[in-house]
Amino acid sequence: MKKALVCGAGGFIGSHLVKRLKAEGFWVRGVDLKYPRFSQTPADDFIVGDLRDLAVCHEAVDTRFDEVYQLAADMGGAGYIFTGENDASVMHNSAQINLNILEACRRRNSFRIFYSSSACIYPEYRQLEAENAGLAESDAYPAAPDSEYGWEKLFSERLYAAYARNHGFEARVARYHNIFGPEGAWNDGKEKAPAAICRKVAQAGNPGEIEIWGDGEQTRSFLYIDECLEGTIRFMRSDWAGPVNIGSEEMVSINRLAAIAAEIAGKTITPRHVPGPLGVRGRNSNNKLIFEKLGWRPSQSLASGIAKTYAWIDQQVQKTQRPKDAPKPVVRQREIVAAE
């Protein structure tokens, strides 16, 4: 039986990845600061521990793994990344995790490793207009990300490439473009635009009004979680290192995203534009390279993914009406406490 390690297995993408790998027959260990928030993990083993602590990383990588997926990072949506208040934590925490995991894997001969970078590494000067033709992988340099989060991701891309050159790692680096879907953050300040919009629409009356930061004409592309997992696994098992975009080319404005969610909800929603952190003006994925190398491109429409995500978030909104003292399921897994 093949073995996989998923770092960040308590998070949105990581928890879905664990389910996918288990369905493929892998023995899976997950590690994170916390268990998944919305469902019990199917991981064979789950370590609750802080990957900023090298001892926890050595405990997690106590044997050779066939596949290691490094998704753990300090991150969130625009309200977390672009205010400037979390810059030091974002850079320190994520860089420390990557340094630790690579060293732990090197010592245990676990050399096939996937690293989830981000579209935030792309230069701000290529994203100043709402109409964005798509960011190709070669557009990364000259480097000028618009956030410290993007700078840390770019540093870590080079870190993985250096370990590949010097230590024989089979590193795979992918740049995720706004992954969304059920069981993601939706109300904790770290949610991204699709979840935030779905939550606002679900909470609004009919007719109703929702807040949108800025004029709403800023553009993005969003990729549904199932597509993300398919692209990730195909790339991980290829003989190509990347970096590569894993995203959708279906770019929309935030106003249009809100309209799609309203249509799905069957509500008449009026946007109210307010000041807020915005990030770049326009961002879209260019998928030419991943199709050339892997013969794959996303197939689901944005609307189909939003429909599934809205249905799940609407259920969460309804649950907030339940008593706070309702019993919660008990999860029995082993824990490792990080050193102070």
The model's pLDDT over 7-35, given as tens digits with 9 standing for 90+, comes to 999 999 999 999 999 999 999 999 999 99
CA distance 171 to 112: 6
- The confidence band for 189, taking pLDDT boundaries of 50, 70 and 90, is confident
Judged against a pLDDT cut of 70, whether residue 329 lies above it is answered with: no
pLDDT-above-90 percentage for the chain: 86
Backbone angles phi, psi at 109, to 5 degrees: 60, 35
| HSE-CB for 13 with a 13 A CA cutoff | 30
Instruction: Kindly give, in sequence order, each residue whose CB lies less than 8 Å from that of residue 85, ignoring residues fewer than 6 positions away.
Output: none
Which H/E stretch holds residue 188? none
Q: Which of 35, 69, 122, 149 is catalytic?
A: 149
Rg of the chain in Å (alpha carbons)? 20
Confidence of residue 265 (pLDDT cuts 50, 70, 90): very high
Reported confidence tier of residue 76, pLDDT bands at 50, 70, 90? confident
Number of H helices, E strands in the chain: 10, 13
| End-to-end C-alpha distance for the chain, whole angstroms | 36
pLDDT in tens, 97-115: 999 999 999 999 999 999 9
324 — pLDDT class (breaks 50, 70, 90):
low
**Mean pLDDT, rounded, for 243-254:** 97
Dist CA 66 CA 162 (whole Å): 20
149 noted as active-site residue:
yes
pLDDT at 115: 98
Band of the pLDDT at 134, cuts 50, 70, 90? very high
Q: Is the pLDDT of residue 57 over 70?
A: yes
Read off the pLDDT of each residue in 277-284 and give the average, rounded to a whole number: 90
Which stretch of DSSP H or E encloses residue 255?
helix 254-265
pLDDT value at position 323?
Answer: 52
Residue 277 pLDDT > 90, yes or no? Answer: no
Write the DSSP string, 210-237: EEEETTS--EEE-EEHHHHHHHHHHHHT
